[in-house]
Amino acid sequence: MNWISDFVRPKIKKASPKELSDNLWTKCPECGQMLFNKELEKDFYVCSFCGHHLRLPVLKRLQMLFDDGKYRALSLPKLQDDPLNFKDSKKYTDRLRSYRKLSGRDDAIVVAYGEIGGIKAVVAILDFSFMGGSMGTAVGEGIVRGAEFALKTKSPFIAISASGGARMQEGILSLMQMARTTAAINQLKEKGFPYISVMTDPTTGGVSASFAMLGDINIAEKGSVIGFAGARVIEQTIREQLPEGFQKAEYLQAHGMVDIVVNRTELRDKLIKILKLLLNR
C-alpha cells in the first residue's frame, strides 16, 4: 500500500450532456447554441440564434395551427398490424409496440379538424418521431380518411409531411399507399376543394413522390430536406460531392417544385392568407 494505490477518486460525476438537454436545454444542431427548452417551445422550436427549424412535436404543431390551439382529432380505424409478418433484427410488431408506448399514438399520423383563421379545415400531420414518419397502410388510411372527411365537410385539406418515405416493413403494401393517397387527394381536388401540402424536414421517398408533391399549393418549411432519393444513395451513385444546399426547401423552390418557403413562425398566417385567397373570402 502506498499513496498511489490508496488514491481515492473524487466522487463528483460529470453530468452527461444528455441529461441536461432532456431536462432543460436543447442544443441547436445547426449553430450549436444551447437553447432553453421553455423558450424553444414558445418559439415553435425555431432556434432564436440562427433561425434553424428543429423538429416540432406533432401536437405542438396542431396547437400552433388551429385557432386558439383548439382542434378535434379524427378517430382512425384500426388496420391489421404487420400484414407481412415482417422481422429484421427485430420483429415489426415489437417495433410498433415500442413506438406506440413512446408516442401514445397508434401510428405516424394524426388527423385533426377545426378552424384556421375562422375557416373550417382538416389537417393530416405525419409524426417523424414514429418510425421516421414512414408511410404504411395506417398512414395511408389517415390520408384517405382525412381527404374523405374534408370532402364530406366541404373543407380544405392540409397535409403536413415529415417522413423518410415508405415503411419497408409493410413491403409492397406500403408502396401501394403512394397510389392510394394520390387517389384520395385526387378525388378532393377534382371536387374543387383546396389541398395544401406543407413539407417539413424531412419529406422524402414515397411520401414526397405521392401526396406531398401534389398540393394545389406546395409550401415548404425553411431549410427542410425534400427530395426523392436520399442524399447518401445519390452520393453513392454519382460518386461525387453534392451541390451546396442540395434538396433544401430553398433549392426546391429555385427549381420550381414548391410555391412558397416559409419560416415556421409565419406558417399559420400564410395558410390563412392562402385559404382566404383561394376561397375568395
Partner 1 sequence: MEKSNTVNLDFEKTIAEVEEKILHLKDIELGDGVNIDGEITRLRQKSERLLKQLYSKLTPWQKTLVARHPDRPHSIDYINLLIEDFENLSGDRCFADDLAIIGGLGKFNGRSVVVIGQEKGRDLETRVKHNFGMAKPEGYRKVQRLMDIADKFNLPVIAFVDTSGAFPGVEAEERGQAQAIASCIERCLKLKVPFVSVVIGEGGSGGAIAVATANRIIMLEHSIYSVISPEGCASILWRSADKVKEATEALCLTAQDLRRLGVIDEIVAEPTGGAQRHREEAIKRVGMAVARHLKELENQSGEELKRRRTEKFLKMGRHLAKSE
Quick one: which segment of 8-16, 60-68, 110-118, 170-178 binds partner 1 (CB under 8 A)? 170-178
**How many whole angstroms from its chain centre is CA 254?**
22
Residues 63, 69, 74, CA angle at the centre, nearest 5°? 70
Nearest-approach distance from CB 262 to partner 1, in angstroms: 19
Of 55 and 91, nearer to partner 1 (C-beta) is 91
**195-204/217-221 β-pairing:** parallel
Quick one: which segment of 34-42, 62-70, 118-126, 136-144 binds partner 1 (CB under 8 A)? 136-144
Nearest-approach distance from CB 115 to partner 1, in angstroms: 28
**226-227/217-221 β-pairing:** unpaired
Nearest-approach distance from CB 164 to partner 1, in angstroms: 10
Site for partner 1 in 19-78 (CB under 8 A): 77-78
In the block, cell 380544405 appears at: 156
Quick one: which segment of 16-24, 103-111, 113-121, 222-230 binds partner 1 (CB under 8 A)? 222-230
40-56 b/e (C-beta count within 10 Å ≥ 16 → b): beebbbbbeeebbbbbb
Of 137 and 155, nearer to partner 1 (C-beta) is 137
Contacts with partner 1: how many residues (CB under 8 A)?
A: 61
Tell whether residue 191 is a contact of partner 1 (CB under 8 A).
Answer: no
Nearest-approach distance from CB 132 to partner 1, in angstroms: 10
Tell whether residue 208 is a contact of partner 1 (CB under 8 A).
Answer: yes
Quick one: which segment of 30-38, 56-64, 96-104, 236-244 binds partner 1 (CB under 8 A)? 236-244
Contact 206, 177 (CB under 8 A): yes
Site for partner 1 in 88-127 (CB under 8 A): 88-89
Tell whether residue 217 is a contact of partner 1 (CB under 8 A).
Answer: no
Tell whether residue 180 is a contact of partner 1 (CB under 8 A).
Answer: yes
Tell whether residue 149 is a contact of partner 1 (CB under 8 A).
Answer: no
**Considering only residues 37, 48, 63, 182, which one is a binding residue for partner 1 as defined by CB under 8 A?**
182
Q: CA end-to-end span of the chain, whole Å?
A: 87
**260-262/109-116 β-pairing:** unpaired
Tell whether residue 201 is a contact of partner 1 (CB under 8 A).
Answer: no
Nearest-approach distance from CB 248 to partner 1, in angstroms: 11
CA distances from 113 to 118, 129, 204, 219 (A): 12, 22, 25, 19
Q: Is 74 helix (H, G, I), strand (E, B) or coil?
A: coil
Torsion of CA 231, 236, 240, 241, to 10 degrees: 30
Q: Which of 239, 230, 240, 235 shows the shortest CA–CA distance to 209?
A: 230
Tell whether residue 211 is a contact of partner 1 (CB under 8 A).
Answer: yes
Tell whether residue 246 is a contact of partner 1 (CB under 8 A).
Answer: yes
**How many whole angstroms from its chain centre is CA 128?**
5
Nearest-approach distance from CB 98 to partner 1, in angstroms: 16
CA 92, CA 167: separation in Å to the nearest integer?
10
